[in-house]
Amino acid sequence: MTAPLTPHEPPFPPYPGGGTEAGDAPAKRARFIRELRGGALVALLVTVGGIALGLLWLWLSPRIPMISDGQAVYLKDTEGEEAIGGDGTFVLIAAGLGILSALLVFWRRRSGGIGVVLGLAVGGVLASIVGWRLGVWLGPSTNIVAHAKQVGPKVVFDGPLELRAKSALIAWSAAAMLTHLCVTSALGPRDEPGDRAEDKPGGQPPTDAPWGPPPPR
């Protein structure tokens, strides 16, 4: 006589929640594409906001008075802080616009997501570059010698608008991401009990049993 055949038992019990991975793949792919598109849209809109940064910087930044004696060009006030004030003004305006952009993004997309955060970061840097170059382009001439010859000697004129501290270009991104993190943590949506995987149909609740080979019989 032979022993009755017994069904083959798997060497390991199923991992909790592992049965739904294959079914979730299309949903995860669609969610990733949606996040990517949302992040690209945020980055584009924030970059356009760099125009406001450039105009505000041009309007609010202190001017650097310069003067020529016909041979060389000098600062009218050698102890003035207008050059440093230009960098500080840029940082303050960029930080303020970064906070505003983060609040607007949170208002439109409370769910947040990595795509939104990356869009704020990339868009903030691009907006800062746009604002910097726009302010320099619309500001006083960068050709100081030609400008001095044009106005004549002993005549005070405004020096070019410059951003000496290039680290100021990340002020928008830093302020936006920090603000978005704070408002999302404080006011963002919370997961309800019915949103957990084990509460959904077909979901598997977590088990306290160890995952590993069955004990010998």
Which of these ranges, 35-44, 116-125, 200-209, has the smallest mean pLDDT? 200-209
Q: Is residue 19 part of a domain?
A: no
33 pLDDT band (50/70/90 cuts)?
confident
Contacts of 161 (CB under 8 A, 6+ apart): 57, 58, 61, 86, 135, 136, 139, 140
Collapsing DSSP states into helix, strand and coil, what is residue 74? strand
Residue 124's domain comprises: 51-187
User: Has residue 198 got a pLDDT over 70?
Assistant: no
What is d(CA 200, CA 205) in angstroms, rounded to the nearest whole number? 10
At 140 the pLDDT is 87
User: Which range among 30-39, 106-115, 169-178 has the greatest average pLDDT?
Assistant: 169-178
Answer yes or no: is 213 within a domain.
Answer: no
Please tell me the predicted confidence (pLDDT) of residue 137: 94
pLDDT of 71: 78
- CA dist 17 to 10, 23, 24, 106, 203, Å? 17, 11, 11, 32, 7
Judge whether 156 lies within some domain: yes
The answer to the question of residue 4 being in a domain is no
Model confidence pLDDT, tens digit, residues 126-181? 999 999 999 999 988 888 878 777 887 888 878 888 898 899 999 999 999 999 99
Tens of pLDDT, residue by residue over 4-26, are 555 555 555 555 555 555 557 77
pLDDT of 108 > 70? The answer is yes
Contact 73, 148 (CB under 8 A): yes
Is the pLDDT at 99 greater than 60, yes or no? yes
Residue 157 bridge partners (DSSP): 66
Buried/exposed code over 153-189 (b: 16+ C-beta within 10 A; e: otherwise): eeeebbbebbbeeeebbbbbbebbbebbeebbeeeee
Which residues, including other chains, have CB under 8 Å from residue 174's CB and lie 6 or more apart?
95, 98, 124
> Residue 10 falls within a domain, yes or no?
no
Supply the DSSP string of 169-197, one letter for each residue.
GGHHHHHHHHHHHHHHHHHS----GGGSG
210 located within any domain: no
Integer Cα distance of 188 and 1 in angstroms: 68
Indicate whether 211 pLDDT > 60. no
Instruction: Indicate the average pLDDT of the chain.
Output: 80
Model confidence at 101, pLDDT cuts 50, 70, 90, reads very high
Domain assignment present for residue 63? The answer is yes
Per the structure, the count of domains in the chain is 1
For residue 115, the model assigns a pLDDT of: 86
Is residue 143 one of the residues assigned to a domain?
yes
Q: What does the pLDDT average to over 50-55?
A: 96
**DSSP characters for 26-61?**
HHHHHHHHHHHHHHHHHHHHHHHTHHHHHHHHHHHS
